Chains A and B, each alone.
Chain A
Amino acid sequence: MDFLELRWDIIWNYRELFLRGIWITILLTISGYVGGIILGVLIGLGETSKKKWIYWPSKLYVDLFRGTPMLVQILIIHLAFIPAIFGQSYGFMVSGITALILNCAAYNAEIIRAGIQSIDKGQMEAARSLGLTHSQAMRKIILPQAFRRMIPPLGNEFIALLKDSSLVTVIAANDILYAAKVVAGAYNRFWEPYLVAALLYLILTYLVTKVVAYVERRFSNSYNPRKKKEGRVAS
C-alpha cells in the first residue's frame, strides 16, 4: 500500500457527513450515559437491598444486559420492542438512546453496587449507632465515600459507551461510523474513511480521558493523602 496514493479529498467532500456523525455520536453517548447513570444508581442501590423483591429484579436486569451482546439489544429494541409497544418506530435516535441507556445502566449499576459494598461495614454501623436512619447513613456516610471510588470505573464506562455507540449504525444511525461507510460505498475505498473514523473516535476518547482525570483529581480521596498515592501506584 502506498500512502501517497491515499485520496484524502474524498473525506473533505463528505466533511458535513462526518461533522454530523461526530455530533450524533456525542449526542448518543451523552444521552445514553446520563440516562444510564440515573437508572444505574436506582438499580445499583436495588442490588444492595436486603428486600428480595427489590434485589432480584435488579440483579436479573444487570445479568440480562451484561450477558447479551449490545448489538442484539439494539436490534431487539429497534425492531421488536419499540414497535410492539408504540405500534411504530421512532427512528434510530430514540431506539439508539434507549438501547444505550438500558445497556449502560447495567454496567453502571454494577459499579455503583461494588462501590457501596467496598465501604467497610463498620461505617454503616457507626452511623446507625449514632441514630441515623439507613437512608441518612447512605446519604451522609456511605455514598460520599463510595462515589470517590466509583469515579475511575464510571469514567471507563463512559469511554466504553462512546465506542459502543458505533454499534447503532446497524439501525442506520448517521454517526461517525455511518459517515465512513457512506464514503467507502461511494468511492469503493476503505483506508481513508475508516482511518478517519478511527481517528475521530480516538480524539473523542482522548478528550473524555482528560475530563475523567480532572474529575478524579478534583474528588478522589482528597481527604486522604496516603491513599491517593497508593492509588496512583496501583493503576
Chain B
Amino acid sequence: MIKVENLHKHFDKLEVLKGIDYEIKEKEVVCVIGPSGSGKSTFLRCINLLEEITNGAIYIDGVKVNDPKTNINDIRTEVGMVFQQFNLFPHMTVLDNITMAPMLIRKLSKPEAEKLALELLDKVGLRAKADNYPQQLSGGQQQRVAIARALAMKPKVMLFDEPTSALDPEMVNEVLDVMKQLALEGMTMVVVTHEMGFAREVADRVVFMDGGFIVEQGDPEQLFGNPQNERTKAFLGKVL
C-alpha cells in the first residue's frame, strides 16, 4: 500500500535520507526505531510530503505522491499523522478540533461530524472532554484527542512520530493502549517510537534506521532477539 523507492532527502547540503527502499502492506504495523538524528522523522514526514522529497519516489495505493500532477491535499486526507507535540488547535474545543477537517474537506454536515467525533472520543475514552479546550487536558489526553482528530478523516494509513516521547511516564500507556486497539482493528500504521516493548508486542515488522539508511528490518522476534547487523546490536544493547 505504501511503496518507497530509493528515497533521498537533503536539507541543503546535509543528506539525511540516503536511499530508502521499503514496502508497507495493508493492515501492517511497522515500527521504526533508531538513534536520534538517524532520519526517522524525516522518513515519516516524506510519506505525506511534509518534507519535500529530493530524489526517489513514494507511492500510496499506486499513486506517486511526489508527482507534480498529484494533488497533495488529497493524499494527505488519506494519511493521518500524529505528532510528538500533539499540535492540537488551542483556540478550538476538543470537539471542534475533531470536526473541523471532516466538515471542511469531507463536507460532512455539523451533526454528522459531531456524531463521528463523539464516537471517536468514546473510542479513546474522552467523550466527557468534548467541550474542553486542549489546555485543560493532560498530555496523554491531548494525544488521544490528536489520534481521534486524525482518525476522523478516515485515513487509510496512520503515521505516528514518537507519540509518547513528550509524555510523563504515567501517561504513556493510555496512549499506547489506544494505538494497540487501532492495530487490532486492522489499521495500517507506521510508528516511530522509542517504546521497544510496544514495538515488540504490536509491530508486524520493525525497521532499524541509522545514518539515513535502513540498516536492518524484520519481524520483532528476529530483530530484537537475533539482530544481524553490528549497529543494530549496539543500538539495542543501549536501549533494551
Q: Which residues of A contact B (CB under 8 A)?
A: 120, 122-123, 125-133, 136, 140-141, 144-145, 148, 223-227
In the assembled complex, which residues on chain B have CB atoms less than 8 Å from the CB atom of A128? 50, 76
Other-chain residue from A130, A136, A141, A148 in contact with B77 (beta carbon distance below 8 A): A130
In the assembled complex, the CB of B39 is this many whole angstroms from the nearest CB of chain A, namely 18
Report the bound CA distance from A223 to B91 in whole Å.
6
A-B Cβ contacts below 8 A, count: 66
Interface residues of B in 57-108 (CB under 8 A from A): 73-74, 76-77, 79-81, 83, 85, 87-92, 100-101, 104-105
Q: Is B198 in contact with chain A by the CB < 8 A criterion?
A: no
Contacting pair B135 A224 (CB below 8 A): yes
Q: A130-B150, A132-B73 are in contact. List 17 more A-B contacts (CB 8 A).
A: A120-B85, A120-B87, A122-B83, A122-B85, A125-B83, A126-B88, A127-B89, A129-B150, A130-B105, A131-B101, A131-B105, A131-B153, A132-B105, A133-B73, A140-B100, A224-B133, A226-B135
Contacting pair A123 B150 (CB below 8 A): no
Chain B, residue nearest A227 (CB)? B135
Report the bound CA distance from A141 to B91 in whole Å.
8
In the assembled complex, which residues on chain B have CB atoms less than 8 Å from the CB atom of A132? 73, 101, 104-105
Q: Is B149 in contact with chain A by the CB < 8 A criterion?
A: yes
Contacting pair A131 B83 (CB below 8 A): no
Report the bound CA distance from A131 to B153 in whole Å.
9
In the assembled complex, which residues on chain B have CB atoms less than 8 Å from the CB atom of A145? 89-91
Report the bound CA distance from A181 to B133 in whole Å.
56
Q: Which residues of B contact A (CB under 8 A)?
A: 48, 50, 73-74, 76-77, 79-81, 83, 85, 87-92, 100-101, 104-105, 133, 135, 146, 149-150, 153
Report the bound CA distance from A133 to B104 in whole Å.
11
In the assembled complex, the CB of B63 is this many whole angstroms from the nearest CB of chain A, namely 14
Contacting pair B100 A129 (CB below 8 A): no
In the assembled complex, which residues on chain B have CB atoms less than 8 Å from the CB atom of A225? 135
Chain B, residue nearest A141 (CB)? B89
How would you classify the secondary structure of chain A's contact residues: helix, strand, loop or mixed? Answer: helix
A-B contacts, 25 of them at CB < 8 A, read A120-B85, A122-B85, A122-B87, A123-B87, A126-B87, A126-B89, A126-B146, A128-B50, A129-B79, A129-B81, A130-B100, A130-B153, A131-B73, A131-B76, A131-B105, A131-B153, A132-B104, A133-B73, A140-B100, A140-B104, A145-B91, A223-B92, A224-B133, A226-B135, A227-B135
In the assembled complex, which residues on chain B have CB atoms less than 8 Å from the CB atom of A127? 89
Chain A, residue nearest B97 (CB)? A126
In the assembled complex, which residues on chain B have CB atoms less than 8 Å from the CB atom of A125? 50, 83, 87
In the assembled complex, the CB of A228 is this many whole angstroms from the nearest CB of chain B, namely 11
Chain B, residue nearest A145 (CB)? B91
In the assembled complex, the CB of A234 is this many whole angstroms from the nearest CB of chain B, namely 17
In the assembled complex, which residues on chain B have CB atoms less than 8 Å from the CB atom of A133? 73
In the assembled complex, which residues on chain A have CB atoms less than 8 Å from the CB atom of B153? 130-131
Report the bound CA distance from A179 to B88 in whole Å.
55
Chain A, residue nearest B105 (CB)? A131
In the assembled complex, which residues on chain A have CB atoms less than 8 Å from the CB atom of B100? 130, 140
Report the bound CA distance from A136 to B77 in whole Å.
14
